Chains A and B, each alone.
Chain A
Amino acid sequence: MVVFQHVLIPVATGEDARATCDALEPYLEDVERVTAVHVIEKAGGAMDKAPLGKRQEDAADFLAIVDSELGDRVAVDTRTVYGTDVADALFDAATDTKADAIAIRARGGSRIVQLLAGNTTPKLVTDPLVPVVSLPHPNE
């Protein structure tokens, strides 16, 4: 099996950041570098659905969690990116940072929530530009 030295992890919320770090924990031996990315969805020319300043403040908080959880184990970089499509923005970030793979913790949720909120996972796995790894829950 290939070893991914540089992994990009998407971080959507504080809880997501912790869950992803926990899920990544067992594999850190083989990982040298983690780039955590928070995507702020833009409306591409209309008013954003949430105030930009609030999203930016939150982004810094979420990314700081990854830094404090993993910072003593591997090299951690964090960045906030903007895009009208979350999956595209993540692949762009992966290309930019030369990440070997994107590692995700699928957030699941009920179908109705996925339908209303949109679900990024299928978009990430169906047409990936870099390998996408779906991390198992550490306690299962």
Chain B
Amino acid sequence: MSDEELAKDLGLVSALAVGIGTMIGAGIFVLPGVAAAEAGPAVVVSFIIGGSIAMVNALSVSELGTAMPKAGGAYYYINRGLGPLFGSISGMGDWMGLAFASAFYCIGFGGYLATLLGGVVVTIPLLGTIELLPTIVLGPLVLSDIQIGALLAGVAFVGVNYIGAKETGGVQTIIVTLLMGILTVFAIVGFFSFDWGTVTTDGLTPEGTGAILPGAALVFVSYLGYAKIATIGEELKNPGKNLPIAIIGSVAIVMVIYSILVGLMVGIIPYDAIDLDTPMSDVAGVIFEGNLGVIGVTSITLAALLATASSANASILASARINFAMGRDKIVTDWLNEIHPRFATPYRSIAVTGLMIVVFIVVLGGDIEVLAKAASVLHLVVYALINAALIVFREADVPEYDPDFTVPLYPITPLLGIVLSLGLITFMETIEIALSMVFVVGAVIWYGVYARHETERDGVLSHYILSRSGEMPDAAVSAASAARPSGGDDYTVMVPVSNPRTESTLLSLASVFAKANDGRVQAVHIVEVPDQTPLSEGSEHVRRIDEESQQLMDSVRESTETMDVPVDVRTVVSHRSFEEVFDLARREEADKVVMGWGPGRPWSAGRAERPLEELTHDLPCDFLVLKDRGLETDRVLVPTAGGPDSELSAEIATYLRDQLGSEVTLLHVVNDQESEAKGETFLTEWAADHGLDDAEIRIDTSGDVEDAIATAARDHSLVIIGATERGLLSRLVRGSLAFDVVNEVECSVLLAERPTSRSLRERLIGLQNDD
């Protein structure tokens, strides 16, 4: 097996076990009593409705999970799709939702522990006897024996994960298999105690049909487990296939189990008499009477302990994944995710989550409904955002978004997911919604005061809105720009160089642009090596290249005039340097790329794995390509025919004028003498519009653009040409640039191309035209 396969060792069965193991604890062992009291025998319908809502969301989670099998699950998708503001909400919501859910599982555990140990007293000499699980009164705070049991459990679960007890895959699968076995026996034996009369004593809906949906809101917490599979996406074997099967499969299996068992329960004990804390023990007492007896009841109680424990355990582990993903994006400090040197666990994250769980048990543990529903509300908010993120990914037509599994009936399914998730929240009590909203608002404030200044990553949504600012409603545009992250968004001018010795002019030029924008220059020495040279980190070869290059770059940096602009230098070793330029610009979120062109630069050969068109038609930022014949900037020529493409040329010209005192000449070509006056009016206006009023205006009436430029270039030292047609860069690579003028003139030429955002349709048509 390769290392890659060993790293991803969760197969389908294990993934299903994680999903089922997390869900089954809560739904069946804790909630049926409370839910039946609320909804009557129709509680079965509540469970089915809750499960159906979970299923719709499970479809969306599956699509996003196969597109991005990454740690963090929901948080990751939402942060990428909707940006870091919603990322913060979902990360915090998911994290706190898990803490609420874990507290809820612990209370369930405590209930069964109290049943098992209830009334057991220990004798301590001199002090007399005390109960093993006493009720403690601390001023206004009353801790029941169940809460004491829950606290013990909570501390134990957190402790186990803090020190990282050795857990092997077998255990989880065995626990789930055992649970399913016990529940099957329970169902078969229970069937003989089932009495339709018990179900219908007060009619099927004694609490009214209106009680079914609040019942569904209550039991929804039973279905939270499937999302845990998504948080461990990067540990799954073959996630494209296994992730959707595990997520959808575990929801389906659990839904069937719940419906059967809850259906049986309301036919065995009247709905309003089922024990509220430990319903399964209560029912087991009835059905095992006269056959398995105490053994039956005890094994159900033990099963309940196992099930709630595995739910809590999986939730604690899942929350560490969410913290990790948030830390990576700097939404929270990465300090939280440090790994313990001996235990090899994310101990700080687990301790913080553990503290939350303990607080929730102590403060809210008296009312299991509040815990369950607060967990559900937070998760439902996250699910609504997941569906929104899915729609954004699909609509924004992100090239990297390529899910193996796609939701059926798009866009109905994700829209339905949003409506159902938000709809279900309305059936919660005010206190539970308010409690959850505290965390949502907290997350927004957190984003405003902390995360916004740290995180660098923009969402697909704001790119989509800001790049179409003309077509979008003003409110959306201003909201999107107001919510953008400000961390790390220094104005960055990237300079890829292949030979640092001869390309210092590029560095000077880049400094001018950086200076004008109070930004910095990122000089990257790109070293292209043959395919057969491995790039593995730390390999000797790469290290040597790195060292040499660093020295070279440092000396170039020192000897180049960079106008006191901060200049970072780094080295990238790559097989495909042309492609690397684009990847780097995207990764570093550069604002401009300044690169040289001509023989001796490996990227002039344009080697790329992806088709050239794909790279050059979707520029990550402004590209400035210098055909270098010595950089002299005293007399700059800017030919223009108007239009958006020469805006970048104008911008560059103003930088050169302001920073270096260059004299700028604008050139406009018209077809004949009669149009001269018109041309002059146009050019004067254009100059004024672009802050170039002081530039010399020149009108050429020859009608031949190339000749005109070549003639005018003779008394200029630099020509800036905006891309008048698409795909300037791809033409450059293929040597089919329409402008021969670039090669004819004797001074340096700077080609400028600004990315455009075009619809898929235009992009396809554009491609056809190019070929």
Contact = CB atoms under 8 A, between A and B. Distances in A.
A77 B539 CA distance: 6
A48 B235 CA distance: 8
A49 B7 contact: no
A135 interface: no
Interface stretch (B135-143, B159-167, B373-381, B666-674): B159-167
B164 A42 contact: no
Contacts of A64: 537-538
Contact of A45 (B9, B166, B320, B540): B9
A26 interface: no
A61 B543 CA distance: 14
A80 B341 CA distance: 17
B344 A41 contact: yes
A60 B346 CA distance: 17
A51 B320 contact: yes
A135 to B, nearest CB: 19
A63 B169 CA distance: 28
A49 B168 contact: no
A130 B710 CA distance: 74
A47 interface: yes
A18 to B, nearest CB: 12
A47 B3 contact: no
Given A54-B324, A81-B3, A117-B343, A49 B337 contact: no
A83 interface: yes
Given A42-B7, A46-B169, A47-B232, A67 B345 contact: no
Contacts, number: 126
Nearest to B537: A60
B346 A51 contact: yes
B574 interface: no
B543 A50 contact: no
Interface residues of A, number: 43
Contacts of B345: 49-50
Interface in A102-134: 107, 109, 113, 116-118
Contact of A52 (B13, B18, B234, B337): B234
A73 interface: no
A98 B264 CA distance: 62
B328 interface: yes
Interface string B206-225: 00000000000000000000
B538 A67 contact: yes
B511 to A, nearest CB: 31
Given A42-B7, A45-B11, A45-B169, A50 B540 contact: no
A116 B7 CA distance: 24
A16 B339 CA distance: 14
Is chain A's binding surface mostly helix, strand, loop or mixed? Answer: mixed
Contacts of B173: 45
A54 B537 CA distance: 17
A16 to B, nearest CB: 8
Interface string A18-59: 000000000000000000000011111111111111111010
Interface string B318-351: 1011001100100000000101011111100000
B712 to A, nearest CB: 54
B6 interface: yes
A76 B542 CA distance: 12
B167 A43 contact: yes
A100 to B, nearest CB: 19
B680 to A, nearest CB: 61
A83 B6 contact: yes
B92 interface: no
B146 interface: no
15 contacts: A45-B10, A45-B173, A47-B10, A48-B235, A49-B167, A49-B343, A50-B320, A50-B339, A50-B344, A50-B346, A53-B324, A58-B339, A71-B543, A76-B540, A113-B342
Given A51-B337, A71-B540, 18 more contacts: A15-B341, A44-B169, A45-B170, A46-B168, A46-B172, A48-B232, A49-B167, A49-B344, A51-B234, A51-B321, A51-B324, A53-B234, A54-B71, A55-B344, A60-B537, A63-B538, A64-B537, A117-B342
